[in-house]
Structure 1
Amino acid sequence: MILRLLSLLSFGLLLTNVLSQAGCARRVVGYITSWGDVPFTDQQARLLTHLVFAFFAMDADGALTLSNKAQQRLNGILEVARRHPHLKVQFAVGGWENSQYFSKIASTQSGRANLNANIRKVIENFKFDGVDLDWEYPVTGGAVEGEEIDRQNYVQLMAELKQELKVLQESQQRADSYLISFAGAAGYWVLKPGFDLRGLLENADFVNVMSYDYFGAWQSKWGAFTGPPAPLHFAMPKKKKCRNFYVKRFSGKMNVHATIKYYACQLKDTYKINMGVPFYGRFWHNVGEAVAPGDDMWRTAKPIEGDNKFEGGDVQWRQIGGRFEMSRTRFHEGSKTPFIWMPENATFVGYEDANSLSYKIHYIKERNIGGVMIWAIDFDDEKLSLLQAATGGEICTSPFKKEFPYKCSPVDDQRWWTFEDKPEHAGMCGRSAPLYNDYYPVCDPDDPGHACCGKYGYCGSGPEFCGCASCVDYGADPSLILKEPIRPERKVTWYTLASGEGRRGRCGPMAPHLDGGPATCNPDDPSAKCCSNGGYCGSTKEHCECQGCVDFSKTPDYHWKPVEWWTFAENSNHIGKCGPGAPVLPSGKTPKCDPDSNAPCCSQSGYCGNGALYCECQGCVDFKKTPNWEWRRQVVTVVSSSPSPNAPYG
């Protein structure tokens, strides 16, 4: 009796699963490889809403073919799939190793027509429900370089494919339209130039975002940083010390959240997005010390023979336990991913497990994402541990929310410095930073590692960048990008953060001259709007309210009078010397003392200062009282060639 009850309970749970997936509120898309030998099962079919067979090979003329082994595998897969009417079955074209012909084919009307006609034939022959295009990648290329026109041609290819399949649907009097999806890149540097997401998804039903492979042991001139293939959140350490604080040297977009947010903000919608998850891990050998103390996740691998190549690879989930010690797994809370570190043989493994998948499914539910995509279901173990985890967490039963879950940049153009623009300016922000395309640079609100502008004028994250009184958190409120002034109203006559030591933050006649004249302070910068009488920009009382100080926010057009005294710009060795006995200025004039400084008087001995010895003696000159004083051109006997022990120099 007990066994019968258990059997009925098991059947009930199974039936519930079948019904929930059949009427799932989100997509559960599983890729299955054409070269694999793990069979497709009824249990997998029940847990999926969409199955994608990857790949049909594409030839230079757009012909689509399968090897004998791949065709036999496809026949077995379709036999199982057709027992599950709810399951939509597509086939994929392209991939990393077979995208080399996309650019040429998509560049002409005849090439596009030929490929689309062949896609139609495959759908008819195998009774597929649609196709998945995996162009890796338009414009930037993957294994093969692309062309700039690829971005536009991809949209055109997709639009013509949609029309081709619509004609097929009508000719068959099919109730459901044929599905079109495409694989989307994870990296912003690939997405921005190559993918017109809005244009593509006007014609495609959904995008399978390849939100993985952020870290791997592939050839790279930047070096190999260990990490998980798909960190959910940015959690990389601080590295580089700049002045008296640390900045983050790692991109904040090397994570799933940043990628999915980019798609959402481009589309202003989340329903057509499927988050990709990897059923595999990546490993490195020859791994060195941790980048930051106390965090064993992030390390650098040593290249092989100095050729920017690294020793490592990928490992399917079903194989990880047989190759590495799973008992040594640790969970990285920041990125929500597991890893294994084996110092005795300098090996690191980052991967996905049921725990990390649970966080991703929760993210999908909370952020209204359209579904989950799996690469690849045949990498799972015999118990389907990862597929069970990826289809749990109420992914099918939780309702969609009405509100859009992201705060996006209010501008389409870029207004922040990156390493791709100019490495030495990367991360600089605020109104004392060098202008970016004539704008005061801000921080990228979509980069969780660098969304805040700190008080020292650098982008970063954490309290020192986001929590101070003068900090600006563009991630929390992207509308701050448009807070006026967004660009200067006048020519830049101040030194910026990029000006280098000795110039950065300097101003006035005593500072090195800028474009032939004294440097000012930026009137738009509330933290550095005033020039002190010592020649430094700032905003304190000592910078703005002292004798000789200039507040450029109040007098933006202030110009210093022509310099008639020695400054650092002319010769630092002569600072404070005055009168006929002092070295003449480059202009040929006898040097005076600055009437607006704290040393306005020239003493009888030829030094600037204040007090009775400098201002009230016989032969002394007080330039505050007589700013237009000119010495007669005559030989003057200098009482002493050495300064008084108490003589100031400025």
Structure 2
Amino acid sequence: MRIEVVLVILAVLFQESRCGISDRSCSRRRVGYITSWGKNPFRDDQAEKLTHLVFAFFAVGSDGSVNLEGDEARARLSHVKEVAARHPHLKLLYAVGGWENSQYFSILTADHSRRSVLISNLVNAIKDYGFDGVDIDWEYPVTGGAVEGTPVDRKNYVNLMRELRNELRDLEAETGKAYLISFAGAAGHWVLKPGYDLQQLMKYCDFVNVMSYDYFGAWASKWGAYTGPPAPLHFAMPKKFSGRMNVHATMKDYSCQIKETSKINMGVPFYGRFWKNVGDAVDSSDDMWRTATATNSEGTKFEGGDVQWRELHTKFDTKLTKFHAGSKTPFIWIPEQKTFVGYENAESIKHKVNYIVEHNLGGLMIWAIDFDDEDGTLLNSAASDSLCTSSAKSFNYKCSPVDDKRWWTFDDNEDLAGMCGKSAPLIDGYYPVCDPDDPGHACCGKYGYCGSGAEFCSCPECIDYGTDPSLILKEPVKPTQKITWYTADAGEGKRGRCGRDVPPMEGEAPTCNPDDANAPCCSNGGYCGNSKEHCECVGCVDFSKNRDFRYKPLEWWTFSENPANVGRCGYDAPRLSTGKIPKCDPDSESFCCSNSGYCGKGEQYCSCLGCVDFKANPAYEY
């Protein structure tokens, strides 16, 4: 066989062996952002591995203008277009907004006339530069951005996308070409929920690039103290930490809101973040999670920053890298320098690719491809053959069956955060449950607090909402009657207490909650529970069987009323706070009042002249 034929065969086999977008069909997207200010050129080998390239950013002015500013940025775009032109499969979009240029979106989308100006300029940029579409990177509508928005941003964002889509349809009719709209979406649910109407946005957008990174960083706030990787795939933090600070939680949030996954691209950072002045590990068995010391007295400034993948190896000793099995991310801990570095590498990206396939996501997004090294180490991992694998399931998430929030968080009330169950204080009239989308706090434990692990998820009394979110709707979801019991926020002296020996509620002795299978009974010692000692003893009350039972007004002295008077009865005893003559408790061991005015049992208390047996004669009145 001639050498030329062999070379041709080998070349074909090589093309077949990789998931080259231009060579064979691959349904998942590979969206790469490239920065307008970067120095590293866009290359053909990168273009081959991407389906979409987003040039970031064009600037949006206060008047709704859309421009590419600076000679260097224009020269860079010209070069990008030259390379892209050699790869017809590659769709080229441009982005507007970003962290530093989203300040005008709120006012520019406030009414139809202003939106029209902005949209006209967005469309003109597509026509003038020959783009295939536009990516809107509003950081962020309503709240969470460098500049706060207003509540109407949520609705106006949808209006912007709808009207932009209509304009692009008109352009498509003129040119015969299809145009794309995408947007960059927030990772944090505290920003996503108030600002993004995802179901409506996705009616007009082709896909969303989720910024599923920057969960941890040396931010200028109290949260900047916590070390971690930019994009942990899974929850793997110590107890009491939020379980939403990871890629899985964000992907689930988007998927459950949109109700399908094909339009969702997982964001992958080609950079790391580092901290200095870092202390000991929060958990001595896990080097990842630490806290840094602030450089100011307010605790809001931390020494640290970001580092591109291409520079990481020259700035830090990567031989010290450890791979965190739980979060599926690498990190570096340098004890003598008190420095922590979290980042992504080829191995962590491989885990993310596998996750995308398993959960049938639409693809991945990269910020930014010019941060990769000359060998394309990270892009090669992101563009691996395995990304083209078919998923066994079209939808692989268990979503909450309710749209409203029925669990206590620190944002609601720091004192009530994490309380759950039938004995917890109500939230919007509902018995609080645990957040099924927070793997760190998805289970309600025996003692009425949300958490994870066997003590919260596996005990007989435990409820695992993460495994089965439908349990949120298990009746009763609201109290079946007026609350006459102390809830968990009443304090240690009252929590779980019941009966006449406990401080009254609105003048009446507190009961136990008949809806609470863990504690429906009041023992004769005044504690709620569900054991025989609580439900079947003399003087016990099972409120699940006797919901209407109410303790009669106190007719005898108790320790809570006055310890010195306990056991006194009759005419010579001190009067009760109601002014009545005290009796003896017919359900106690001292149910008779002697003629000398003391409670007890036996002949000298029950059978003497002037004695009163209240068990035999509970209706007796002095």
Do both proteins adopt the same fold according to a TM-score greater than 0.5, normalized to the shorter chain? Answer: yes
CA contact (8 A) 1:521 1:528 kept: yes
What SS does structure 2 have at the residue aligned with 1:156? helix
What SS does structure 2 have at the residue aligned with 1:424? coil
2:512 to 511, 521, 528: 521
Partner of 1:17: 18
Partner of 1:368: 360
Partner of 2:193: 192
What SS does structure 2 have at the residue aligned with 1:132? strand
Q: Distance in 2 between matches of 1:19 and 1:286?
A: 45
Partner of 2:228: 227
Deviation at 1:11, TM superposition (A): 6.3
Larger mean CA deviation between 370-379 and 604-613 belongs to 604-613
CA contact (8 A) 2:593 2:599 kept: yes
Q: Distance in 2 between matches of 1:20 and 1:70?
A: 27
Specify whether residues 576 and 236 from structure 1 end up closer, same or farther in structure 2 by C-alpha distance, changes over 3 A only.
farther
Deviation at 1:583, TM superposition (A): 2.2
Partner of 2:61: 59
Deviation at 1:476, TM superposition (A): 0.9
Give % identity: 63
Q: Distance in 2 between matches of 1:61 and 1:46?
A: 38
Partner of 1:204: 205
Deviation at 1:62, TM superposition (A): 1.4
Partner of 1:584: 575
Task: Confirm or deny that 1:295 pairs with 2:295.
Answer: no
Specify whether residues 3 and 55 from structure 1 end up closer, same or farther in structure 2 by C-alpha distance, changes over 3 A only.
farther
Q: Which amino acid aligns with 2:376?
A: L
What SS does structure 1 have at the residue aligned with 2:96? strand
2:139 to 131, 136, 139: 136
Structure 2, gaps ≥5 residues long: none
Q: Distance in 1 between matches of 2:224 and 2:317?
A: 26
1:151 to 149, 154, 159: 154
Q: Distance in 2 between matches of 1:481 and 1:97?
A: 41
Q: Distance in 1 between matches of 2:15 and 2:73?
A: 31
What do the CA deviations read for 1:110-136 (whole angstroms, capped 9, x no partner)?
221111111111111111110000000
What SS does structure 2 have at the residue aligned with 1:341? strand
What SS does structure 2 have at the residue aligned with 1:394? helix
Q: Which amino acid aligns with 1:82?
A: A
Deviation at 1:432, TM superposition (A): 0.6
CA contact (8 A) 1:419 1:426 kept: yes
CA contact (8 A) 1:361 1:393 kept: no
Task: Confirm or deny that 1:314 pairs with 2:315.
Answer: no
Q: Distance in 1 between matches of 2:263 and 2:621?
A: 79
Q: Distance in 1 between matches of 2:242 and 2:197?
A: 23
Task: Confirm or deny that 1:501 pairs with 2:492.
Answer: yes
What do the CA deviations read for 1:95-149 (whole angstroms, capped 9, x no partner)?
0000000000011212211111111111111111100000000000411010000
Q: Distance in 2 between matches of 1:460 and 1:470?
A: 14
What do the CA deviations read for 1:327-349 (whole angstroms, capped 9, x no partner)?
00111111111111111111100
Under a length normalisation based on structure 1, what TM-score does the superposition of the two structures give? Answer: 0.92
Structure 1, gaps ≥5 residues long: 239-247, 632-650
Partner of 1:455: 446
What SS does structure 1 have at the residue aligned with 2:332? strand
Q: Distance in 1 between matches of 2:133 and 2:194?
A: 27
Deviation at 1:604, TM superposition (A): 5.1
Specify whether residues 329 and 148 from structure 1 end up closer, same or farther in structure 2 by C-alpha distance, changes over 3 A only.
same
Specify whether residues 602 and 223 from structure 1 end up closer, same or farther in structure 2 by C-alpha distance, changes over 3 A only.
farther
Counting only pairs closer than 5 Å after superposition, residues 321-470 of structure 1 correspond to structure 2 as 321-396=313-388, 398-470=389-461
Q: Distance in 1 between matches of 2:412 and 2:385?
A: 42
Deviation at 1:407, TM superposition (A): 0.7
Q: Distance in 1 between matches of 2:20 and 2:271?
A: 29
Task: Confirm or deny that 1:213 pairs with 2:205.
Answer: no
CA contact (8 A) 1:511 1:567 kept: no
1:271 to 247, 256, 262: 262
Deviation at 1:450, TM superposition (A): 0.9
What SS does structure 2 have at the residue aligned with 1:28? strand
Specify whether residues 41 and 477 from structure 1 end up closer, same or farther in structure 2 by C-alpha distance, changes over 3 A only.
same
Under a length normalisation based on structure 2, what TM-score does the superposition of the two structures give? Answer: 0.96
What SS does structure 1 have at the residue aligned with 2:306? strand
2:276 to 264, 285, 290: 285
Task: Confirm or deny that 1:160 pairs with 2:160.
Answer: no
Q: Which amino acid aligns with 2:244?
A: K
Q: Distance in 2 between matches of 1:327 and 1:13?
A: 33
Q: Which amino acid aligns with 1:226?
A: T
Task: Confirm or deny that 1:182 pairs with 2:173.
Answer: no
CA contact (8 A) 1:24 1:49 kept: no
Q: Which amino acid aligns with 1:98?
A: N
Number of residue pairs matched? 618
CA contact (8 A) 1:532 1:549 kept: yes
2:116 to 110, 113, 124: 113
Q: Which amino acid aligns with 2:301?
A: K
What SS does structure 1 have at the residue aligned with 2:415? helix
What SS does structure 1 have at the residue aligned with 2:589? coil
CA contact (8 A) 1:442 1:453 kept: yes
Q: Distance in 1 between matches of 2:332 and 2:604?
A: 76
Deviation at 1:620, TM superposition (A): 4.0
Deviation at 1:592, TM superposition (A): 1.3
Specify whether residues 613 and 258 from structure 1 end up closer, same or farther in structure 2 by C-alpha distance, changes over 3 A only.
farther
What SS does structure 2 have at the residue aligned with 1:254? coil
What do the CA deviations read for 1:463-506 (whole angstroms, capped 9, x no partner)?
11111111111111111111111101211110011110110001
CA contact (8 A) 2:22 2:87 kept: no
Deviation at 1:364, TM superposition (A): 0.2
CA contact (8 A) 2:19 2:385 kept: no
Deviation at 1:603, TM superposition (A): 4.1
What SS does structure 2 have at the residue aligned with 1:423? coil
Specify whether residues 169 and 517 from structure 1 end up closer, same or farther in structure 2 by C-alpha distance, changes over 3 A only.
same
